[in-house]
Amino acid sequence: MACRSWKQWFCSHNLHRILMSKRQKLRNPFAEKVFYVNPSYKTSLETSISSASGKIKDTLESMRDIPSAYWLDNKGKIKGGSTNTMEGILEDAANKPVPELVLFIVYDLPNRDCHAKASNGEICCSYKSDGRCDYTDVSDKFCSAGLKEYEEEYIDQIAEVLRKYSGRVPVVLVIEPDSLPNLSTNQGDPRCGNSATKSAYEEGVSYAVKALATADPYAAIYLDAGHGGWLGWKDNMKDFVKTIKGLKVSSHIRGFASNVAGYQHVGEICDTYDFCLGGNNNDHPCCADPCDLIGQWNPSNNELNYALHLRKAMSEGIQGFMPHMIIDTGRNGAAGMRSECKNWCNIRGAGVGHVATIATANPEVVDAYFWLKTPGESDGCTQVLPDGSSCPRFDTDCASVDSIGSRNDEPRAPEAGQWFDFQIKQLAENARLQ
Ligand code: BGC
Q: Which residues of the chain have pLDDT under 50?
A: 1-11, 23-24
- Please tell me the predicted confidence (pLDDT) of residue 16: 52
Q: What is the pLDDT of residues 313-335, one digit of tens each?
A: 999 999 999 999 999 999 999 98
Q: With contact defined as beta carbons under 8 Å apart, do 309 and 300 qualify?
A: yes
Rounded Cα–Cα distance for residues 94 and 74 (Å): 23
Among protein residues, the one whose CA lies closest to atom 11 of ligand 1: 417
User: Active-site residue 178, yes or no?
Assistant: yes
Please return the burial class of 285, using the count of CB atoms within 10 Å of its CB with bins 0-12, 13-18 and 19+. Answer: exposed
Q: With contact defined as beta carbons under 8 Å apart, do 221 and 213 qualify?
A: yes
Ramachandran category for residue 175: left, alpha or beta (phi over 0 → left; psi -120 to 50 → alpha): beta
Q: With contact defined as beta carbons under 8 Å apart, do 397 and 403 qualify?
A: yes
- Please tell me the predicted confidence (pLDDT) of residue 23: 45
- Containing 327, the helix (H) or strand (E) segment is strand 324-328
Catalytic residue among 73, 113, 140, 397: 113
Q: With contact defined as beta carbons under 8 Å apart, do 130 and 145 qualify?
A: no
Report which residue type is found at 145.
A
Q: With contact defined as beta carbons under 8 Å apart, do 200 and 150 qualify?
A: yes
> What are φ and ψ of residue 319, in 5° steps?
-60, 130
Contacts of 389 (CB under 8 A, 6+ apart): none
Q: With contact defined as beta carbons under 8 Å apart, do 398 and 318 qualify?
A: no
- pTM tops 0.85: yes
Q: Which residue of 78, 103, 105, 107 sits with most ligand 1 atoms within 8 Å of its CB, as the best mutation to test the pocket?
A: 107
Q: Ligand 1 center to residue 230 CA distance, Å?
A: 19
Rounded Cα–Cα distance for residues 150 and 157 (Å): 10
User: Active-site residue 409, yes or no?
Assistant: no
> Ligand 1 site: residues with CB under 6 angstroms?
71, 73, 119, 261, 373-374, 377, 379, 416-417
Among protein residues, the one whose CA lies closest to atom 3 of ligand 1: 417
| The Cα angle at residue 382 between residues 379 and 386, in degrees rounded to 5 | 100
Rounded Cα–Cα distance for residues 244 and 258 (Å): 15
Rounded Cα–Cα distance for residues 423 and 238 (Å): 36
Rounded Cα–Cα distance for residues 362 and 334 (Å): 21
Handedness of CA 115, 120, 126, 128 (dihedral sign): positive
Handedness of CA 211, 5, 87, 326 (dihedral sign): positive
Among protein residues, the one whose CA lies closest to atom 12 of ligand 1: 417
Please return the burial class of 239, using the count of CB atoms within 10 Å of its CB with bins 0-12, 13-18 and 19+. Answer: middle
Q: With contact defined as beta carbons under 8 Å apart, do 418 and 383 qualify?
A: no
